[in-house]
Amino acid sequence: MKSIAPLFFCISVFSLPLTSFGQEKAVPQVFKAGAATSNITPPLGMEIVGNFAPRPIAAHVHDELHARCLVLDDGTTKLAFVVADIISLGRDVWDEAKQKIEAATGIPASNMMFSGTHTHSSVSALTNDDPSLNYRQFLISRAVDGVQRAVSNLEPARIAWGSGQVPQHVFNRRWLLKEGVTNPNPFGGLDRAVMNPSSILRARLLKPAGPTNQEAYCLSVQAADGGHQIALMTNYWLHYVGGVPRDHLSADYFGEFCRVIEKSLGTSGQYPPCVALLANGPCGDVNNNDYSGKTPAVKREPYEKIKLVAGDLAAEMLRVEKSLKYQDWVPLKAATSDLELGVRRPTPEMIAWAKEVLARPKDAKTNHRLEQPYAERTIAASNTKPDTISAVMQAFRIGDLGIAAIPFEVFTEIGLEIKAKSPFKDTFTIELANGSNGYLPTPAQHELGGYETWLGTNRVEREASVKITAQTLEMLKRVR
């Protein structure tokens, strides 16, 4: 009996089936993936956000908006992604969706990474006074449905990732002015950097104020036998493209990219269908407009530039996908923490300026075209409670791939620093994830001024990017 006791101990600890006395057979690890899309197109008649007032009312749907969902399962841990065609969402909206998904599926809220693409042709998820236009609850319910369906679609899968180069569509939109040259801002001050410089300023430009990231990252999951594509998720660090009529609802180049990928990788009659996702990366200071003068100006039809950018990105991701080496199983892990950041407040002088601006007649001459909206934002910032915000810092591990998530419009140089210092061989970052707290410049960029640094566009303390970078790297180390 003494010789048998250790055997019983092994059975109770490892739960390994026996093929014969004294021989143990390991239970094979099975990796699974499931994907689904939920249509989140809002009703016509809602206000399209993304621009300053007056904002247009949605009168036409050019292409449907979606919440695109992907769930991965290593047998022990599940991770869930949702990428929604919306300009951004507050943390409270995503938190409510996550709570409902956790209750329905058992996936911990900390294992869900939800983000907005930042299309400027969508509507707000704030509750509307008209109950029939309560887009917030509609969006939450659709995200919940999408993840539940992705869980139902889980099947044995293999996974791979890699990156390609799409440099021709990324340009830093902030330009440093020549020594001694400044540009007025709405607050009556002067900036050294300017966003999207007008033709009048072109001769006074010195150089781009920051870098771009030319890489595009590809995460691909296929059925275990390679018979069909389950999903392909891409991360590209580029703002929306635009060129959309003002009263159109559209998913911008994000939606067009997904349509091209799904058509290319999906098979006829495939069910569940192939799902593509395009999660936006740190591009708070990057768009697709070249202000150097090196690119000839071309007048384009609506949606023409969107198709060009999406087509080039899709072609590169399809090329990368063909070269990937798939793995039958990889470990998954998630880490999440809250980071308290100070809310940025206006000075007494700024408040006095704002009150003076708002006291003028509506038809009075202005010193800056955005004086009125930023005076309103200044007063709002002086009344905001509490004095801090809680930002979600998150990191996922998918094998040797690290994915970070930040709830801001992040400057590209911040994402590049995270990538360079990450403990993972491959790392990418998703912005506007799990919340939306405005632009995130570095302290050095704050010194230069410009739209992204203005109070009301930027809402948190100047050192926020330093704290966020440190906390994000800590999250990546934790899952590594």
Please work out, in degrees rounded to the nearest 5, the angle formed at the alpha carbon of residue 199 by the alpha carbons of 194 and 204. 60
Strands 205-208 and 174-177: antiparallel
How many Cβ atoms from other residues are within 10 Å of residue 380's Cβ? 14
Q: What integer pLDDT is reported at residue 16 of this predicted model? A: 44
Q: pTM of the full predicted structure?
A: 0.93
- Show Cβ contacts of residue 127 under 8 Å, excluding neighbours closer than 6 positions: 134, 136, 137
Q: List strands edge to edge, sheet with 193-195.
A: 193-195, 174-177, 205-208
- Show Cβ contacts of residue 165 under 8 Å, excluding neighbours closer than 6 positions: 214, 215, 216, 316
For residue 460, the cross-strand partners are: 343
Q: How high does pLDDT run on average in the chain?
A: 93
Rounded to whole angstroms, the Cα distance separating 116 from 40 reads 12
| Residues 303 and 138 sit within 8 Å (Cβ to Cβ) | no
Q: What integer pLDDT is reported at residue 475 of this predicted model? A: 98
Q: Where are the domains of the chain?
A: 32-171+208-339+387-479, 346-383
| Residues 347 and 421 sit within 8 Å (Cβ to Cβ) | no
pLDDT in tens, 253-295: 999 999 999 999 999 889 999 999 999 999 999 999 999 988 8
Burial class (CB in 10 A: 0-12, 13-18, 19+), 270: middle
Give the CA count within 13 Å in the CB-facing half-sphere of 6.
4
Q: What integer pLDDT is reported at residue 209 of this predicted model? A: 98
How many Cβ atoms from other residues are within 10 Å of residue 179's Cβ? 7
Classify residue 75 as left (phi > 0), alpha (psi -120 to 50) or beta: left
Exposure b/e, 197-235, CB count within 10 A at least 16 = b: beeeeeeebeebbbebbebbbbbbbbebeeebbbbbbbb
Report the candidate in 122, 154, 135, 138 with the shortest Cα–Cα distance to residue 36: 154
Q: Which residues of the chain have pLDDT under 50?
A: 1-21
| Residues 107 and 100 sit within 8 Å (Cβ to Cβ) | no
Residue 414's alpha-carbon distances to 115, 336, 401, 421, in angstroms, are 18, 19, 19, 11
Rounded to whole angstroms, the Cα distance separating 30 from 327 reads 11
pLDDT in tens, 328-382: 999 999 999 999 999 999 999 999 999 999 999 988 999 999 999 999 999 999 9
